[in-house]
Structure 1
Amino acid sequence: MNAQHTLPDKGLVAASFSRAASSYDAVAGLQRQVGRQLLDVLPASLAPERWLDVGCGTGHFARQLAARYSQADGLALDIAEGMLRHARPLGGARHFLAGDAEALPLRDASCELIFSSLALQWCADLSAVLGEARRVLRPGGVLAFSSLVEGTLGELRESWRQVDERVHVNRFRHFADYQVLCAASGLRVVHLEQRPLVLHFADLFALTHELKALGAQNLNQGRSTGLTGRARLRALAEAYERFRQPQGLPATYQVIHAVLEKC
């Protein structure tokens, strides 16, 4: 897939997550779990003087990093101004910056750790992101990120296919794309794995409500911008029921964790 052409516009992403800032934390269970897993794969020997949280959102993991590396200088960056307004009063980082992972507003060789959990899937040019990380990291510094890959929300995508041919579910890069891009980044790949994470919901409304509250509803080009009629929603709900498990309706996220080091 050519992700550079199918990923949503940055302005649309920023606006959607800005609107979701006040509701995000209440429904961010998946994001918390994935971020904790990313913290767990950070090298135990890492002792950064300065760290950067890219796509910091409401600042939850900036506060976690500040607690872990209490002597370090912390920076938190997000493209969504609404998220930054929410995060700043809660602290954690010394500075909260509006900015883009593809063009970091930092000096060369100025950080020992760049941490980014569930943000880079929204970046169209991952090569630029990795290049910026390599530029900003000091020798021995680490880029640790988690992201979503193709196959995420496959049950929802397949259910929509029973209703119409429009794009209703966000599209993401394949794991193989990350393997190739990380290998070509000039950074040493320390850790790169994909694992599924399955959430369960009582019904379709609970799932779609959570996606909206997170700001992660359908942001793709070609999506329908009109209201979804009741008949189509009923058809979607009926199609999704085929996936029901004893715990509820499953929503599978395909998650990657990566740790790259600047030699």
Structure 2
Amino acid sequence: MSEYIQASLPDKRQVAASFSRAACSYDSVAELQRTVGHQLLQQVPDDLQPQRWLDLGCGTGYFSRVLAPQYAGASGLALDIAEGMLAHAQPQGGAGHFIAGDAEKLPLRSGSVDLIFSSLALQWCADFSSVLSEAARVLRPNGVLAFSSLCVGTLCELRDSWQAVDGFVHVNRFRQFDDYQRFAASSGLQLLSLQTRPETLYFPDVRSLTHELKALGAHNLNPGRPGGLTGRARVQALLKAYEQFRQPQGLPATYQVVYGVLRKASASEVPV
């Protein structure tokens, strides 16, 4: 039987609350999330046979349910900061334990997992060096962290369109790809691969895009975002500005996806 564990959460209530509210609508609009996650899964080393895996930032548990049959016989943990996501995921199974917790301070024992799989979750973590430090701590020797995240350039069309309208922050900010490289290099983990790849979705209109972002729980969460309702004139200006990006497939929304695979050294590789 699946077990639900309540662990202490940091003060990131806004992110957690936004994704909790989106739990029921998330899967209906998560095309990009599924595509990226499956591409990440293909990058996990073929020779890795984990006894225990962790789906870090599991959301609705889609990839927990993918990992379970792929690593049959292994025990699985699913962890997310959004309790609403966990409540949605837990009845569907996949992992043996569902844990409320933060990637920057994992409520797990050191040396307790062989694979950390994290797809499109770590972009919400302000301290990426702590994420990598915690991954290094909880991984066993030869264990692997495979993650996908987002970097600068994500939703550039929406950002540039809003810039033509006003000076407010309307689009989530993400770290530079150089930052991912720098943190990975100083993590103490062996870097197997790190790359960025654009993924573009197309929408018939701007409202379809903003509806999807809200349904995902990934609408604007940045400090400095404008409060209250957006005026009709500004909305019309946004629609006009975004039209310059229209292509035959529709209005593009580009995500700059970061894929990274890191490995913890085996006992024999650790310098004496």
TM-score, normalised on structure 1? 0.96
| Alpha-carbon distance, 1:113 to partner | 0.3
Matches within 5 A, 1:156-235: 156-235=158-237
Q: Which amino acid aligns with 1:203?
A: D
| Alpha-carbon distance, 1:173 to partner | 0.4
- Matched residue pairs, number? 255
Deviation string for 1:184-218 (max 9, x for gaps)?
Answer: 00000001010000000000000000000000000
Q: Which amino acid aligns with 2:61?
A: G
| Alpha-carbon distance, 1:132 to partner | 0.4
Structure 1 CA distance, aligned partners of 2:153 and 2:66? Answer: 29
| Alpha-carbon distance, 1:63 to partner | 0.5
Q: Say yes or no: does 1:26 pair with 2:43.
A: no
Q: What is the aligned partner in structure 2 of residue 72 from structure 1? A: 74
Structure 1 CA distance, aligned partners of 2:227 and 2:218? Answer: 15
Could you say what secondary structure the match of 2:193 adopts?
A: strand
| Alpha-carbon distance, 1:41 to partner | 0.4
Q: What is the aligned partner in structure 2 of residue 148 from structure 1? A: 150
Could you say what secondary structure the match of 1:115 adopts?
A: strand
Structure 2 CA distance, aligned partners of 1:119 and 1:15? Answer: 15
| Alpha-carbon distance, 1:231 to partner | 1.0
Percent identity among equivalent residues? 69
Q: Say yes or no: does 1:43 pair with 2:48.
A: no
Q: Which amino acid aligns with 2:223?
A: Q
| Alpha-carbon distance, 1:153 to partner | 0.2
Could you say what secondary structure the match of 2:141 adopts?
A: strand
Q: Which amino acid aligns with 1:183?
A: A
Q: Which amino acid aligns with 1:33?
A: T
Deviation string for 1:2-48 (max 9, x for gaps)?
Answer: xxxxxxx7211000000000000000000000000000100000100
Structure 1 CA distance, aligned partners of 2:64 and 2:222? Answer: 28
Could you say what secondary structure the match of 2:196 adopts?
A: strand
Structure 2 CA distance, aligned partners of 1:127 and 1:179? Answer: 11
Structure 2 CA distance, aligned partners of 1:106 and 1:215? Answer: 26
**Unpaired runs of at least 5, structure 2:** 1-10, 266-272
| Alpha-carbon distance, 1:230 to partner | 1.1
Equivalent of 1:121 in 120, 123, 143: 123
| Alpha-carbon distance, 1:225 to partner | 1.6
Structure 2 CA distance, aligned partners of 1:199 and 1:105? Answer: 35
TM-score, normalised on structure 2? 0.93
**Unpaired runs of at least 5, structure 1:** 1-8
Deviation string for 1:218-256 (max 9, x for gaps)?
Answer: 000000121011111000000000000000000000001
Please report the RMSD computed on the Cα atoms of aligned residues, expressed in angstroms: 0.6
